[in-house]
Chains A and B, each alone.
Chain A
Amino acid sequence: MQFPALLSTRVLGNFLTDNAFLGITAVGMTFVIISGGIDLSVGAVIGFTGVLVAVLISSVGMHPLAAFAIALAIAALFGAAMGLAIHYLQVPAFIVTLAGMFLARGGASVITQDSVPINHEFYSYLTSLAIRMPGGGKLSFIGMLMVLVFLVGAVLAHRTRFGSYVYALGGNATSASLMGVPVVRTTVTIYMLSSVLACLAGLVFSLYTSAGYPLAAVGVELDAIGAVVIGGTLLTGGYGFVFGSFVGVMLLGLVQTYIIFDGTLSSWWTKIVIGFLLFLFIVLQRLVFAASTRADRSPGGA
């Protein structure tokens, strides 16, 4: 190991904290991708949430909890609307969520063009919440929140009827509807979940930065998709694990941390390494998939 400090609990704590917003976003993205869709709006929703909450707290003088509730409600409606559009207008999720991305990003810029700082004691309280780990590391509130979201997401995906409907939609939407899967309800719930989790990620991001900025988290949707794919979820839908996305997020975070530790490389190297990783994983997926289909065909085939 080149940097033994990488393994300390302090780094681990920071690691979870730094990647909390990406992790939470990736959980929602996992559901969307397993169902055979995609959600490009999440980065913009993070930005919008940050700005909205910042303005509501700093300019309007609202209590953060009330601001959070408003943001989450708006995100839920936003996601539901995208789900409905995808189902009823028969427009690909790619297009609908791209429109959603422009809407949310534009909406954020309409609220304010500048970075709005948040100074509220409740914010300070939340950021100070942490569990001390042996070795001097701190598990922050947002780090714990991410772990919690992953656990709830895993149970939701793998142990509930809703979860099985999500896989069913990704496997074969026609079969799913013939088998009695409530397609509309499931689609709407999936995109609501993704938007709400993106909003939650936005709240985490605003706790993390103590500010709201309309251009925050640009491109995070792609990081989230990358993490999900690296975690083994097929972009074509139907296959994947929530825990895999956790591994994906951690891997992306690790690359970033490693390059920062190295210090000699420019931070853009992160992108290059991630690009290679992503490519590698996609090739790997194809190979595994091809091998498994060949195995299926051989017995009793022909």
Chain B
Amino acid sequence: MNAARVWVTNPRHDNARPAGIPAGFVAGPRRRGKHGGSELTQTAFRMEARGVSKVFGNNTALDAVDFGLLPGEVHALLGENGAGKSTLIKILTGAYQPDGGSIHVDGVEVEFDSPLDAQSYGIGTVYQEVNLLPNRSVAENLFLGHQPTRFGLVDRRRMDREARVLLTRYGLDIDPSSELGMHSVAVQQIVAIARAVQLSGKVLILDEPTASLDRDEVQRLFEVVSGLKQQGLAIVFITHFLDQVFALDARVTVLRNGKLVETSELGEMTRTDLVRRMLGKDIAFSGSTSLEAERAFDEVLMSFTDYGRKRSVQPFTLDVHKGEVIGVAGLLGSGRTEMARIMFGVDPADSGSVTLRGKAVSIKAATDAIGYGIGFCPEDRKADGIFGDLSVRENIVIALQGKLGWFRALNRDEQLELAGQFGEAMDIRAASLDMPVKLLSGGNQQKVILARWMATDPDFLILDEPTRGIDVGAHAEIVRTINRLRNDGMALLVISSEIDEVVAYSSRVVVMRDREMVAELRGQEINPGIIVQAIAAHEEAST
């Protein structure tokens, strides 16, 4: 607890009481310290985590975090990737067991062996991906494991009847005997909530429930959530969309690097305040200006016009010049990765057009993009980028082989020469080019992926979080490499959560928010303060 830095203490914090909670519920000053009043302290918390920690290997994912949940509140849990959000949620739902600290439900210390165990204590969870059974009826999804029975057999008629009654409470008028998979994701999500509330009834944890919903569907979900809040349920809400936090008037807990930053009422807080806490940036408006800021670019390499894809990224217009680095800033889920995927054709665009050196082209698949000289290093190295069991050599030549096609196989000597050449250029430290890539460090793996694309001699390289999860030294090297490639005339688009890093190498910065490109910063505008503000909001005044 002491390790956690408390940012700002809301003056109203101590006597704040969310609307709808009877006065008697908040029984006394809220405990701050981990070992506070021990057993004597009667808190109003429906559920509480006291100083929970979780360690994976050498990595402390969660460091003595306190988290208290009041009945009748929506509590937003905020933080960037690696902040410890999902670890905390997994502990609260019983998927992980904490290495330190304790969990309390209604003031009683509990231990959850499994999500099922947590459910029996009244903790229900709805996940981002709807975790129901699309192949079964709506009613069965609501009652699976608890179906009403008669003479040992499932009483379908009664089950459907009860399901119908339950669903009308959530404003859903659907046939309970219809297959769940036939309904929209929003309906499925509401069915999942109905099930969780039905079975647990004290705490509802919503893990990014809006991730795959459109605006109207989100509205519908919010109505359900507000209704449940009125009923006194304690709701944990995880989202990357700050608007939603304000829309739900949630209390917020911000985590960063596994530590608690702050828990407070929204009160007077602005989006900028939230983003600052999430990213841990003191807004310094006199931030360093990019060296390259003033460089002029006249040769347009690629030009995207109203380029977008429904449910993924709103149409954006962007020119990419030779020899520039475009930094893409934005919170997780803001559409920055989606933007890269559309540019590379992994998810083909469904609107707009793209030109390459002035000629209209069509990028419908990654192979098209590779053919046009575009390279893409995805965010999740392990899942999407590296073939862990293949050798360094094979990993380097694989994209080039893809470009050459099936019939012009590179022989082993050619492969070795290429791998050696680019391995050296990228300064990959491997005992042998024939060792499996999974044995290398994160930084070296990243360099292998970079080398892979270098071998195809791309004109335009897209890097999604190239410095994630690698140590400081390798970090600096990747940044140096980016600068060198730019100087060689390559165009780069680099997505990063590290604002300082974006500032260091970008000649232009594109800011994404809510799946939309909301700002394009250049020159003097490229400094951390302005970027954070752009990420947070333009309609600052309206909140």
Partners in one complex: yes
Chain A contact residues, CB within 8 Å of chain B: 155, 159-161, 163-165, 167-168, 170-172, 174-176, 178-181, 238-239, 296, 300, 302
CB distance from A181 to the nearest CB of B (A): 6
Which B187-223 residues sit within 8 Å CB-CB of chain A?
195, 199
Residue pairs across A and B with Cβ atoms less than 8 A apart, 5 shown, are A163-B154, A164-B140, A165-B144, A179-B141, A180-B116
Do A238 and B135 have beta carbons less than 8 Å apart?
A: yes
User: In the complex, which residues of chain A have a beta carbon less than 8 angstroms from the beta carbon of B115?
Assistant: 178
Q: Is B454 an interface residue (CB 8 A)?
A: no
Q: Mark B145-189, 1 if CB is under 8 A from A, else 0.
A: 101010011101000000000000000000000000110100000
For A172, give its contact among B131, B140, B149, B152 (CB under 8 Å): B131
User: In the complex, which residues of chain A have a beta carbon less than 8 angstroms from the beta carbon of B181?
Assistant: 296
A160 to B135, CA, bound (A): 17
Q: Given the interface contacts A181-B145, A302-B310, does A155 sit within 8 Å of B153 by beta carbon? A: yes
Do A168 and B133 have beta carbons less than 8 Å apart?
A: yes
Do A161 and B154 have beta carbons less than 8 Å apart?
A: yes
Q: Mark B88-127, 1 if CB is under 8 A from A, else 0.
A: 0000000000000000000000000001100100000101
CB distance from A165 to the nearest CB of B (A): 8
User: In the complex, which residues of chain A have a beta carbon less than 8 angstroms from the beta carbon of B280?
Assistant: none
Q: Mark B303-323, 1 if CB is under 8 A from A, else 0.
A: 000000011000000000000
In the A-B complex, the 7 residue pairs with the closest CB atoms: A238-B135, A171-B135, A171-B133, A175-B131, A159-B153, A180-B145, A178-B131
Do A167 and B182 have beta carbons less than 8 Å apart?
A: no
A155 to B151, CA, bound (A): 12
For A168, give its contact among B119, B136, B152, B311 (CB under 8 Å): B136
Q: Is B134 an interface residue (CB 8 A)?
A: yes
Do B311 and A164 have beta carbons less than 8 Å apart?
A: no
For A167, give its contact among B116, B136, B199 (CB under 8 Å): B136
User: In the complex, which residues of chain B have a beta carbon less than 8 angstroms from the beta carbon of A174?
Assistant: 131
CB distance from A162 to the nearest CB of B (A): 10
For B134, give its contact among A171, A178, A180, A302 (CB under 8 Å): A171
CB distance from A11 to the nearest CB of B (A): 35
Do B127 and A178 have beta carbons less than 8 Å apart?
A: yes
A170 to B140, CA, bound (A): 15
CB distance from A189 to the nearest CB of B (A): 15
For B145, give its contact among A171, A179, A239 (CB under 8 Å): A179
Write the chain B residue with the least CB distance to A300.
B184
Do A164 and B144 have beta carbons less than 8 Å apart?
A: yes
A79 to B527, CA, bound (A): 66
Do A161 and B136 have beta carbons less than 8 Å apart?
A: no
Interface size class of B (residues with CB under 8 A): 20 to 34
Which B243-272 residues sit within 8 Å CB-CB of chain A?
none
In the complex, besides A180-B119, A239-B135, A296-B181, 4 extra interface pairs with C-beta distance below 8 angstroms are A168-B144, A171-B136, A172-B132, A179-B145
Write the chain A residue with the least CB distance to B115.
A178
User: In the complex, which residues of chain B have a beta carbon less than 8 angstroms from the beta carbon of A180?
Assistant: 116, 119, 144-145, 199
Q: Mark B48-88, 1 if CB is under 8 A from A, else 0.
A: 00000000000000000000000000000000000000000
Chain B contact residues, CB within 8 Å of chain A: 115-116, 119, 125, 127, 131-136, 140-141, 144-145, 147, 149, 152-154, 156, 181-182, 184, 195, 199, 310-311
A300 to B186, CA, bound (A): 11
A163 to B195, CA, bound (A): 20
CB distance from B382 to the nearest CB of A (A): 20
User: In the complex, which residues of chain A have a beta carbon less than 8 angstroms from the beta carbon of B149?
Assistant: 161
Do A175 and B133 have beta carbons less than 8 Å apart?
A: yes
Q: Given the interface contacts A159-B154, A164-B144, A302-B311, does A176 sit within 8 Å of B119 by beta carbon? A: no
Do B153 and A179 have beta carbons less than 8 Å apart?
A: no
A179 to B143, CA, bound (A): 10
Write the chain A residue with the least CB distance to B182.
A296
Q: Given the interface contacts A167-B135, A175-B132, does A161 sit within 8 Å of B147 by beta carbon? A: yes
CB distance from A34 to the nearest CB of B (A): 10
User: In the complex, which residues of chain A have a beta carbon less than 8 angstroms from the beta carbon of B153?
Assistant: 155, 159-160
A167 to B147, CA, bound (A): 14
User: In the complex, which residues of chain B have a beta carbon less than 8 angstroms from the beta carbon of A300?
Assistant: 184
User: In the complex, which residues of chain A have a beta carbon less than 8 angstroms from the beta carbon of B154?
Assistant: 159-161, 163-164
Do A172 and B133 have beta carbons less than 8 Å apart?
A: yes
A176 to B140, CA, bound (A): 12
Do A164 and B131 have beta carbons less than 8 Å apart?
A: no
CB distance from B204 to the nearest CB of A (A): 15
A88 to B184, CA, bound (A): 35
For A161, give its contact among B133, B145, B156 (CB under 8 Å): B145
A168 to B144, CA, bound (A): 9
User: In the complex, which residues of chain A have a beta carbon less than 8 angstroms from the beta carbon of B116?
Assistant: 180
User: In the complex, which residues of chain A have a beta carbon less than 8 angstroms from the beta carbon of B147?
Assistant: 161, 164
User: In the complex, which residues of chain A have a beta carbon less than 8 angstroms from the beta carbon of B145?
Assistant: 161, 165, 179-181
Write the chain B residue with the least CB distance to A299.
B184
Do A160 and B152 have beta carbons less than 8 Å apart?
A: yes
A172 to B136, CA, bound (A): 11
A300 to B220, CA, bound (A): 15
CB distance from B142 to the nearest CB of A (A): 10
CB distance from B150 to the nearest CB of A (A): 10
CB distance from A103 to the nearest CB of B (A): 32
A155 to B156, CA, bound (A): 13
A174 to B128, CA, bound (A): 14
CB distance from B154 to the nearest CB of A (A): 5
User: In the complex, which residues of chain B have a beta carbon less than 8 angstroms from the beta carbon of A178?
Assistant: 115, 125, 127, 131
User: In the complex, which residues of chain B have a beta carbon less than 8 angstroms from the beta carbon of A179?
Assistant: 131-133, 141, 144-145, 195
Among B125, B135, B152, B182, the one with the most A-chain Cβ atoms within 10 Å of its Cβ is B135
CB distance from B139 to the nearest CB of A (A): 11
A168 to B180, CA, bound (A): 12
A178 to B140, CA, bound (A): 15
Write the chain B residue with the least CB distance to A155.
B153
Do A167 and B133 have beta carbons less than 8 Å apart?
A: yes
Write the chain B residue with the least CB distance to A181.
B145
User: In the complex, which residues of chain A have a beta carbon less than 8 angstroms from the beta carbon of B134?
Assistant: 171-172
User: In the complex, which residues of chain A have a beta carbon less than 8 angstroms from the beta carbon of B140?
Assistant: 164
User: In the complex, which residues of chain B have a beta carbon less than 8 angstroms from the beta carbon of A170?
Assistant: 135
Write the chain B residue with the least CB distance to A161.
B147
A159 to B311, CA, bound (A): 40
Do A181 and B131 have beta carbons less than 8 Å apart?
A: no
User: In the complex, which residues of chain B have a beta carbon less than 8 angstroms from the beta carbon of A167?
Assistant: 133, 135-136
Among B119, B127, B153, the one with the most A-chain Cβ atoms within 10 Å of its Cβ is B153
Write the chain A residue with the least CB distance to B127.
A178
Write the chain A residue with the least CB distance to B125.
A178
User: In the complex, which residues of chain A have a beta carbon less than 8 angstroms from the beta carbon of B156?
Assistant: 159
Write the chain B residue with the least CB distance to A234.
B135
A239 to B310, CA, bound (A): 31
CB distance from B83 to the nearest CB of A (A): 24
Write the chain B residue with the least CB distance to A168.
B133
